[in-house]
Amino acid sequence: MTVAEVEATQLRGRRDESRVELERLGAALGEELQAASEPLGPEEREAIEAKLARLELSREQIGPVNPLAEREYTEAREHVSELAEQRKDLERAITELRALIRTIDREIAAAFEETFEAAARGFEEMVAELFPGGKGRLRRVDVGGAPRPFAGQAPEDEGDEEDDELTPPDEDGGVEIEVTPAGKSTRRLSLLSGGEKSLVALAFLFAVLMARPCPFYILDEVEAALDDINIDRFLRLVRRFAERSQFIVVTHQKRTMDAADILYGVSMGNNGVTKVVSRKLPRDELGTGLEPTEPEAAAEAA
Protein backbone atom coordinates (compact mmCIF):
# COMPACT_ATOMS: atom_id res chain seq x y z
CA MET A 1 0.00 0.00 0.00
CA THR A 2 1.39 3.33 -0.96
CA VAL A 3 1.78 6.35 1.30
CA ALA A 4 -1.09 8.13 -0.42
CA GLU A 5 -3.40 5.23 0.18
CA VAL A 6 -2.44 5.13 3.88
CA GLU A 7 -3.16 8.84 4.30
CA ALA A 8 -6.49 8.48 2.54
CA THR A 9 -7.46 5.64 4.85
CA GLN A 10 -6.55 7.74 7.91
CA LEU A 11 -8.58 10.66 6.63
CA ARG A 12 -11.61 8.46 6.10
CA GLY A 13 -11.23 7.08 9.63
CA ARG A 14 -11.09 10.60 11.16
CA ARG A 15 -14.08 11.61 9.04
CA ASP A 16 -16.09 8.67 10.29
CA GLU A 17 -15.09 9.45 13.89
CA SER A 18 -16.09 13.07 13.41
CA ARG A 19 -19.49 12.03 12.02
CA VAL A 20 -20.10 9.71 14.96
CA GLU A 21 -19.10 12.46 17.42
CA LEU A 22 -21.40 14.94 15.69
CA GLU A 23 -24.29 12.51 15.92
CA ARG A 24 -23.59 11.96 19.64
CA LEU A 25 -23.43 15.67 20.37
CA GLY A 26 -26.57 16.29 18.31
CA ALA A 27 -28.45 13.65 20.26
CA ALA A 28 -27.26 15.19 23.56
CA LEU A 29 -28.23 18.70 22.48
CA GLY A 30 -31.43 17.66 20.77
CA GLU A 31 -30.36 19.18 17.49
CA GLU A 32 -29.13 17.85 14.19
CA LEU A 33 -25.53 18.92 13.63
CA GLN A 34 -23.90 19.10 10.23
CA ALA A 35 -20.25 19.24 9.35
CA ALA A 36 -18.94 22.65 8.46
CA SER A 37 -18.88 23.30 4.78
CA GLU A 38 -15.83 25.51 5.09
CA PRO A 39 -12.85 25.33 7.44
CA LEU A 40 -12.86 27.65 10.45
CA GLY A 41 -10.86 30.82 10.37
CA PRO A 42 -7.87 31.29 12.66
CA GLU A 43 -9.73 33.61 15.08
CA GLU A 44 -12.74 31.31 15.43
CA ARG A 45 -10.45 28.33 15.90
CA GLU A 46 -8.47 30.14 18.63
CA ALA A 47 -11.68 31.17 20.39
CA ILE A 48 -13.00 27.59 20.34
CA GLU A 49 -9.69 26.20 21.52
CA ALA A 50 -9.55 28.78 24.35
CA LYS A 51 -13.11 27.84 25.41
CA LEU A 52 -12.21 24.16 25.34
CA ALA A 53 -9.13 24.86 27.46
CA ARG A 54 -11.28 26.70 30.04
CA LEU A 55 -13.80 23.87 30.15
CA GLU A 56 -11.02 21.32 30.57
CA LEU A 57 -9.54 23.36 33.43
CA SER A 58 -12.97 23.61 35.12
CA ARG A 59 -13.44 19.88 34.79
CA GLU A 60 -10.05 19.22 36.36
CA GLN A 61 -10.85 21.57 39.24
CA ILE A 62 -14.06 19.66 39.96
CA GLY A 63 -11.97 16.59 40.64
CA PRO A 64 -12.67 12.97 40.00
CA VAL A 65 -16.27 11.95 39.55
CA ASN A 66 -17.79 9.97 42.46
CA PRO A 67 -19.82 7.12 40.97
CA LEU A 68 -21.66 6.68 44.31
CA ALA A 69 -22.72 10.33 44.54
CA GLU A 70 -26.29 9.65 43.41
CA ARG A 71 -26.80 6.88 45.97
CA GLU A 72 -25.21 8.96 48.73
CA TYR A 73 -27.47 11.87 47.83
CA THR A 74 -30.54 9.64 48.01
CA GLU A 75 -29.49 8.28 51.41
CA ALA A 76 -28.84 11.81 52.69
CA ARG A 77 -32.30 12.95 51.59
CA GLU A 78 -33.92 9.97 53.30
CA HIS A 79 -31.98 10.77 56.50
CA VAL A 80 -33.08 14.43 56.35
CA SER A 81 -36.69 13.35 55.85
CA GLU A 82 -36.46 11.03 58.85
CA LEU A 83 -35.01 13.81 61.01
CA ALA A 84 -37.80 16.14 59.88
CA GLU A 85 -40.42 13.59 60.94
CA GLN A 86 -38.71 13.15 64.29
CA ARG A 87 -38.69 16.90 64.78
CA LYS A 88 -42.42 17.08 64.04
CA ASP A 89 -43.03 14.30 66.59
CA LEU A 90 -40.96 16.14 69.21
CA GLU A 91 -42.72 19.44 68.58
CA ARG A 92 -46.10 17.69 68.84
CA ALA A 93 -45.01 15.99 72.08
CA ILE A 94 -43.81 19.33 73.50
CA THR A 95 -47.14 20.93 72.66
CA GLU A 96 -49.05 18.10 74.34
CA LEU A 97 -46.80 18.26 77.42
CA ARG A 98 -47.30 22.00 77.76
CA ALA A 99 -51.05 21.56 77.49
CA LEU A 100 -50.90 18.78 80.10
CA ILE A 101 -48.81 20.98 82.41
CA ARG A 102 -51.34 23.81 82.13
CA THR A 103 -54.18 21.38 82.88
CA ILE A 104 -52.35 19.95 85.90
CA ASP A 105 -51.54 23.45 87.17
CA ARG A 106 -55.21 24.38 87.00
CA GLU A 107 -56.23 21.19 88.79
CA ILE A 108 -53.56 21.71 91.48
CA ALA A 109 -54.66 25.32 91.98
CA ALA A 110 -58.32 24.29 92.24
CA ALA A 111 -57.49 21.44 94.67
CA PHE A 112 -55.35 23.78 96.78
CA GLU A 113 -58.06 26.42 96.93
CA GLU A 114 -60.63 23.81 97.95
CA THR A 115 -58.35 22.34 100.61
CA PHE A 116 -57.31 25.76 101.87
CA GLU A 117 -60.90 26.92 102.27
CA ALA A 118 -61.81 23.75 104.17
CA ALA A 119 -58.68 24.01 106.36
CA ALA A 120 -59.39 27.70 107.05
CA ARG A 121 -62.91 26.89 108.26
CA GLY A 122 -61.62 23.99 110.33
CA PHE A 123 -58.86 26.15 111.83
CA GLU A 124 -61.37 28.69 113.08
CA GLU A 125 -63.34 25.87 114.69
CA MET A 126 -60.24 24.30 116.27
CA VAL A 127 -59.00 27.64 117.63
CA ALA A 128 -62.39 28.22 119.20
CA GLU A 129 -62.11 24.73 120.76
CA LEU A 130 -58.54 25.08 122.07
CA PHE A 131 -58.72 28.81 122.89
CA PRO A 132 -62.15 29.37 124.48
CA GLY A 133 -63.18 32.90 123.58
CA GLY A 134 -60.26 33.31 121.17
CA LYS A 135 -60.19 33.73 117.42
CA GLY A 136 -57.93 32.53 114.65
CA ARG A 137 -57.74 32.46 110.91
CA LEU A 138 -55.59 31.42 107.95
CA ARG A 139 -54.72 33.90 105.23
CA ARG A 140 -53.05 33.60 101.85
CA VAL A 141 -49.88 35.65 101.42
CA ASP A 142 -48.64 36.58 97.96
CA VAL A 143 -45.02 37.04 96.88
CA GLY A 144 -44.96 40.68 97.95
CA GLY A 145 -45.96 39.71 101.48
CA ALA A 146 -49.39 41.36 101.41
CA PRO A 147 -51.91 39.18 103.28
CA ARG A 148 -54.91 37.92 101.34
CA PRO A 149 -58.33 37.62 102.97
CA PHE A 150 -58.95 34.08 104.13
CA ALA A 151 -61.88 32.00 102.86
CA GLY A 152 -65.31 33.26 103.75
CA GLN A 153 -64.26 36.76 104.82
CA ALA A 154 -64.27 40.05 102.99
CA PRO A 155 -61.06 42.10 102.71
CA GLU A 156 -60.35 44.35 105.68
CA ASP A 157 -59.67 47.30 103.40
CA GLU A 158 -61.98 47.77 100.43
CA GLY A 159 -59.24 49.71 98.66
CA ASP A 160 -57.12 46.54 98.44
CA GLU A 161 -59.81 44.71 96.48
CA GLU A 162 -58.21 45.55 93.14
CA ASP A 163 -54.79 44.34 94.29
CA ASP A 164 -56.27 40.99 95.35
CA GLU A 165 -57.97 40.58 92.00
CA LEU A 166 -54.71 41.30 90.18
CA THR A 167 -52.93 38.50 92.02
CA PRO A 168 -53.39 35.20 90.15
CA PRO A 169 -54.70 32.37 92.35
CA ASP A 170 -51.85 30.04 91.42
CA GLU A 171 -49.05 32.51 92.16
CA ASP A 172 -46.34 31.31 94.52
CA GLY A 173 -46.94 32.46 98.07
CA GLY A 174 -47.62 31.15 101.53
CA VAL A 175 -50.12 30.88 104.34
CA GLU A 176 -50.17 33.18 107.35
CA ILE A 177 -51.61 32.08 110.69
CA GLU A 178 -53.20 34.62 113.01
CA VAL A 179 -54.45 33.75 116.49
CA THR A 180 -55.89 36.06 119.11
CA PRO A 181 -56.40 34.36 122.49
CA ALA A 182 -59.22 35.61 124.68
CA GLY A 183 -58.32 38.81 126.49
CA LYS A 184 -55.19 39.42 124.39
CA SER A 185 -54.40 41.52 121.36
CA THR A 186 -51.69 39.15 120.16
CA ARG A 187 -52.01 38.10 116.53
CA ARG A 188 -48.51 37.00 115.50
CA LEU A 189 -47.19 33.57 116.44
CA SER A 190 -43.86 34.99 117.52
CA LEU A 191 -45.61 36.81 120.39
CA LEU A 192 -47.31 33.71 121.80
CA SER A 193 -46.04 31.57 124.65
CA GLY A 194 -44.67 28.08 124.15
CA GLY A 195 -47.92 26.43 125.23
CA GLU A 196 -50.00 28.70 123.01
CA LYS A 197 -47.77 27.93 120.04
CA SER A 198 -48.30 24.22 120.70
CA LEU A 199 -52.06 24.75 120.75
CA VAL A 200 -51.89 26.70 117.48
CA ALA A 201 -49.92 23.87 115.87
CA LEU A 202 -52.49 21.35 117.10
CA ALA A 203 -55.32 23.52 115.80
CA PHE A 204 -53.69 23.63 112.38
CA LEU A 205 -53.05 19.87 112.45
CA PHE A 206 -56.67 19.02 113.25
CA ALA A 207 -57.89 21.59 110.71
CA VAL A 208 -55.91 19.81 108.00
CA LEU A 209 -57.24 16.50 109.36
CA MET A 210 -60.78 17.77 108.86
CA ALA A 211 -60.01 18.90 105.30
CA ARG A 212 -57.94 15.89 104.20
CA PRO A 213 -58.07 13.01 106.71
CA CYS A 214 -55.17 10.55 106.93
CA PRO A 215 -55.30 6.94 108.18
CA PHE A 216 -52.99 7.63 111.12
CA TYR A 217 -50.96 10.37 112.77
CA ILE A 218 -47.77 10.23 114.81
CA LEU A 219 -47.59 12.97 117.46
CA ASP A 220 -44.28 13.34 119.26
CA GLU A 221 -44.44 15.27 122.55
CA VAL A 222 -46.96 17.71 121.10
CA GLU A 223 -48.49 18.40 124.53
CA ALA A 224 -45.19 18.67 126.44
CA ALA A 225 -45.62 22.43 126.94
CA LEU A 226 -49.32 22.24 127.91
CA ASP A 227 -50.82 22.37 131.36
CA ASP A 228 -53.45 19.90 132.57
CA ILE A 229 -56.42 21.96 131.33
CA ASN A 230 -55.04 22.31 127.81
CA ILE A 231 -54.00 18.63 127.79
CA ASP A 232 -57.63 17.73 128.46
CA ARG A 233 -58.72 19.91 125.52
CA PHE A 234 -56.16 18.19 123.32
CA LEU A 235 -57.36 14.75 124.44
CA ARG A 236 -60.97 15.66 123.67
CA LEU A 237 -59.94 16.44 120.09
CA VAL A 238 -58.00 13.19 119.84
CA ARG A 239 -61.02 11.21 121.04
CA ARG A 240 -63.27 13.18 118.67
CA PHE A 241 -61.23 12.27 115.60
CA ALA A 242 -60.24 8.76 116.74
CA GLU A 243 -63.15 7.29 114.78
CA ARG A 244 -61.66 8.38 111.45
CA SER A 245 -57.92 8.22 112.16
CA GLN A 246 -55.52 6.39 114.44
CA PHE A 247 -53.24 8.43 116.69
CA ILE A 248 -49.82 7.28 117.81
CA VAL A 249 -48.70 9.64 120.57
CA VAL A 250 -45.19 9.71 122.01
CA THR A 251 -45.57 11.31 125.41
CA HIS A 252 -44.39 11.54 129.01
CA GLN A 253 -47.62 13.10 130.24
CA LYS A 254 -49.57 10.90 132.63
CA ARG A 255 -52.95 12.32 131.58
CA THR A 256 -52.26 11.43 127.94
CA MET A 257 -51.27 7.92 128.98
CA ASP A 258 -54.48 7.59 130.98
CA ALA A 259 -56.53 8.38 127.87
CA ALA A 260 -54.74 5.87 125.62
CA ASP A 261 -56.21 2.56 124.47
CA ILE A 262 -52.87 0.76 124.17
CA LEU A 263 -49.64 1.59 125.98
CA TYR A 264 -46.16 0.77 124.69
CA GLY A 265 -43.07 1.37 126.75
CA VAL A 266 -39.45 0.37 127.20
CA SER A 267 -38.40 -1.21 130.48
CA MET A 268 -35.07 -2.43 131.80
CA GLY A 269 -34.95 -5.64 133.78
CA ASN A 270 -32.63 -6.63 136.61
CA ASN A 271 -30.18 -8.09 134.12
CA GLY A 272 -29.75 -4.68 132.47
CA VAL A 273 -31.46 -5.70 129.22
CA THR A 274 -34.20 -3.40 127.90
CA LYS A 275 -37.39 -4.74 126.41
CA VAL A 276 -40.56 -3.34 124.88
CA VAL A 277 -43.72 -3.93 126.87
CA SER A 278 -47.30 -3.27 125.82
CA ARG A 279 -50.66 -3.29 127.51
CA LYS A 280 -54.14 -2.94 126.05
CA LEU A 281 -56.62 -1.41 128.46
CA PRO A 282 -60.39 -1.38 127.91
CA ARG A 283 -61.86 2.08 127.87
CA ASP A 284 -64.36 1.28 130.56
CA GLU A 285 -61.54 0.29 132.93
CA LEU A 286 -59.08 2.88 131.75
CA GLY A 287 -61.51 5.73 131.50
CA THR A 288 -61.34 8.37 128.84
CA GLY A 289 -59.42 10.82 130.96
CA LEU A 290 -61.43 13.54 129.29
CA GLU A 291 -63.65 14.51 132.19
CA PRO A 292 -62.94 18.10 133.20
CA THR A 293 -60.93 18.48 136.36
CA GLU A 294 -62.08 20.68 139.18
CA PRO A 295 -59.82 23.60 138.19
CA GLU A 296 -61.00 23.34 134.58
CA ALA A 297 -64.66 23.11 135.59
CA ALA A 298 -64.19 26.17 137.77
CA ALA A 299 -62.50 28.00 134.90
CA GLU A 300 -65.31 27.14 132.51
CA ALA A 301 -67.91 28.16 135.04
CA ALA A 302 -66.13 31.48 135.49
The full DSSP string for 182-200 is: TT----SGGGS-HHHHHHH
pLDDT at residue number 35: 66
Q: What is the CATH number of domain 81-192?
A: 3.40.50.300
Cα 207 versus chain centre, distance: 27
- Nearest Cα residue to 181 out of 113, 111, 130, 140: 130
Closest CA to 179 of 239, 227, 123, 226: 123
pLDDT of the chain, 302 residues: tens digit per residue: 677 777 778 777 877 787 777 777 777 777 776 666 777 778 888 888 888 888 888 878 877 777 888 889 999 999 999 999 999 999 999 999 999 999 999 999 899 899 999 999 999 999 888 888 888 888 888 755 444 544 444 454 444 444 443 334 445 568 888 888 887 776 677 778 888 888 888 999 889 988 888 888 898 988 888 888 989 999 988 888 888 888 889 988 888 888 888 898 888 878 888 888 888 877 654 444 444 444 333 333 32
Backbone angles phi, psi at 132, to 5 degrees: -55, 125
* Bridge partners, 219 (sequence order): 249
Phi-psi region for residue 241, left (φ > 0), alpha (ψ -120 to 50) or beta?
alpha
CATH of domain 213-302: 3.40.50.300
Domain with CATH 3.40.50.300 in the chain: 81-192, 213-302
246-250/262-268 β-pairing: unpaired
Beta bridge partners of 253: none
